[in-house]
Chains A and B, each alone.
Chain A
Amino acid sequence: MAAIEALYLRKHFRAKVKGEGFSASLRSLVRPEYRETVAVRDISLTVSEGEIVAFIGPNGAGKSTTIKMMTGILHPTAGSIRVLGYDPVSQRQALSYHIGTVFGQKSQLWFHLPPLDSFRLLASIYEVDRLVYRQRLDDLVERFQIGGLLRTPVRKLSLGERVRCEIAASLLHWPRILFLDEPTIGLDVVVKHRIRELIGELSREDGVTVFLTSHDAGDIEQVCRRAIVIDHGRLVLDLPVKKLKYDYLNRKLVSVRFFEPQSLPAFPGVTAIKETGIAARLSVDTRAQPIGAVISALTGGGNVADITVADPPMEDIIADIFASRKEERS
């Protein structure tokens, strides 16, 4: 059975439109006018059990709307959707026992209480047997290394500590699918890395299906095996991450600052975006030029004061995808 199956999924939103001025306000009171916006257009996709899927797209692409339809929060305008064989609209409660959700911007833990209290509460909300809960908690505490945080009020936890507790909380009832909406937003590199490892482990050891939205190219590269790209509510691309990586995640941005002004060594596959002599921003095509070679060439002269390597922002990657698809078509 497929974990998630969506066919021509569509969601329209109706928003009131109102002209400027007092008379327009009055008119909209008497006869409101609405404008339809289409958040999701005819998305069809199938996710098998045990897959780790990245669901990516720029802001407002319809990612969250799609996740909310999959979890039964929003009702689709048209199309059909099955999650673990359930219809999320009419069987939301039955489905909720089998899925876990983590929404980066919204906590499911009680703010003034230690996480342990929220864990106990969630266990009883999901009707987890007490003994089973205790074992599961021990297991999750060890995996997420949150033993020391269990008795500290949530408001006193750092963001990284909180996110670890949030994900552990969403797993207490053995969900078969985990929906993660921007789980690493605002986290530092080390914590991000740890969270990614944990998500990978989950899928390998428990066979949990993971459906993850993110802005962060690193999340996708390091965790997921398949990427689905949407934009303006439309499915743009559905391909293995390996291929996505080779085709689109092949650029790194290098920012470098020198002690003394110097000219940049010329390299194939490296283009300077900005160059002032004392500092430069380079775009490196890692297919043509390993990033390590670029860095050793730059730092070799002992003139580097500071250097950072970053992934291009998701918006740029998506723009690349669009550009290359247009080329394909024409």
Chain B
Amino acid sequence: MTAAKARKYGAILGVSLRSGLMYRGNVLGGLLFYALFIFVFFSLWGTIYRAGGVPGYSLPQMIWYVCVTELIVFGCRSGVFGQISESIKSGAVAYELNRPYHYVFYRFFSALGGIVFSFLFYAASALALGHLFVGPLPNFRLWMLPFVLVSIGLGAVIQFFSYLCLGLSAFFIEENRAFMFIYSKLVLMLGTFIPVEFFPGWLQTVVRYLPFSYITWAPARMAVDFSWGHVASALPLQLAWAAVMIALSLLLYRKGVRRVNVQGG
């Protein structure tokens, strides 16, 4: 990539950062839901822990776990699925195509600015809510933070490109909301609400090889129960899934753009 090309995507990121700063409309509404989720899980897990412990996680760990997974789901949300599906279905995608950039990376960098701001905002809320409900996270040391942040970043990348792929499916199938529905429920069940360790043995094996748990479970586990073994197994798999999702979105775009069906006029 030449310097001019790299500068191009830098400029897209710059503008999206500025736009993210100007427009914070739906962040506050999301925060309300975020706090509600944490509260519901605080009550739910509290009841379960009073009835008897859960192997592998203490109650504070469990609540911090949910704080981190929901931070990725809420804080790194981009709306890219809806935007792409909508623009393909309405034909508006036409106007974004005839410019000298790669559409997939244009989408990524123009969403990144908004994600950065909402992540920072939700991260602050996560810290506050976690402390409010169960106090500081036991055994957490500051030097672990870079690893956790890298893992969260990779989780966010997998999440973004998965949604982008789902959005691009509109090129092929008119009604693609069902995919989105199924996908988001899988992410919720496989890692966001329930840590992977709680699944029965065979399912656990399967889930550990699927992308879903590498969005939320891998980083959250790293945050609440840091171990070098987990870092060594989770980060490479996260990297691999991120690469797969990026490659898949490039492929879907290449195949899809030839089928653009823009009626009218």
Contact = CB atoms under 8 A, between A and B. Distances in A.
A96 B265 CA distance: 22
Contacts of B18: 113, 117
B265 A213 contact: yes
A60 interface: yes
A125 B265 contact: no
B50 interface: no
Interface residues of A, number: 42
Interface stretch (B63-71, B91-99, B160-168, B176-184): B91-99
Contact of B264 (A16, A64, A72): A64
B263 A39 contact: yes
Contacts of B260: 73-75
Given A74-B262, A112-B23, A97 B100 contact: yes
Contacts of B10: 124
B133 interface: no
Nearest to B20: A112
B22 A73 contact: no
B265 A60 contact: yes
A96 B99 contact: yes
A202 B7 CA distance: 29
A184 interface: no
B12 A121 contact: yes
Contact of B8 (A117, A124, A153): A124
Given A92-B98, A96-B99, A106-B92, A124 B11 contact: yes
B97 A73 contact: yes
Contacts, number: 88
B100 A112 contact: no
A126 interface: yes
Number of contact residues on B: which range applies?
A: 20 to 34
B145 interface: no
Contacts of B12: 121, 125
B100 A93 contact: yes
Interface in B84-104: 92, 94-95, 97-101
A92 B103 CA distance: 12
Contacts of A255: none
B265 A63 contact: yes
B4 interface: yes
B247 interface: no
Contact of A121 (B11, B94, B100): B11
A185 to B, nearest CB: 12
Nearest to A62: B265
A65 interface: yes
A131 to B, nearest CB: 14
Given A121-B11, A124-B7, A65 B22 contact: no
B98 A101 contact: yes
A103 B100 contact: no
Contact of B99 (A16, A60, A125): A125
B100 A65 contact: no
B15 interface: yes
Interface in A109-159: 110, 112-113, 117-118, 120-121, 124-127, 153
Contacts of A93: 100
A126 to B, nearest CB: 6
A110 B265 contact: no
Nearest to A121: B15
Contact of B15 (A39, A62, A73, A118): A118
Contacts of B94: 68, 73-74, 103
Given A13-B261, A68-B94, A96 B11 contact: no
B101 to A, nearest CB: 6
B132 to A, nearest CB: 32
B258 interface: yes
B11 to A, nearest CB: 4
Question: Residue among B7, B95, B258, B262 with the most chain A CB within 10 A?
Answer: B95
Interface string A71-111: 11111000000000000000011001101010100101010
Contact of A125 (B11, B19, B261): B11
A230 to B, nearest CB: 11
B265 A117 contact: no
Contacts of B101: 125
Contacts of B11: 120-121, 124-125
Contacts of B7: 124
6 contacts: A118-B15, A120-B11, A121-B12, A121-B14, A125-B101, A127-B100
Counting from the closest, the 5 A-B pairs by CB-CB distance are A64-B265, A124-B11, A112-B23, A112-B22, A73-B94
Given A13-B261, A97-B100, A125-B100, 10 more contacts: A64-B265, A68-B262, A73-B262, A92-B97, A96-B99, A108-B95, A117-B18, A121-B12, A126-B100, A213-B265
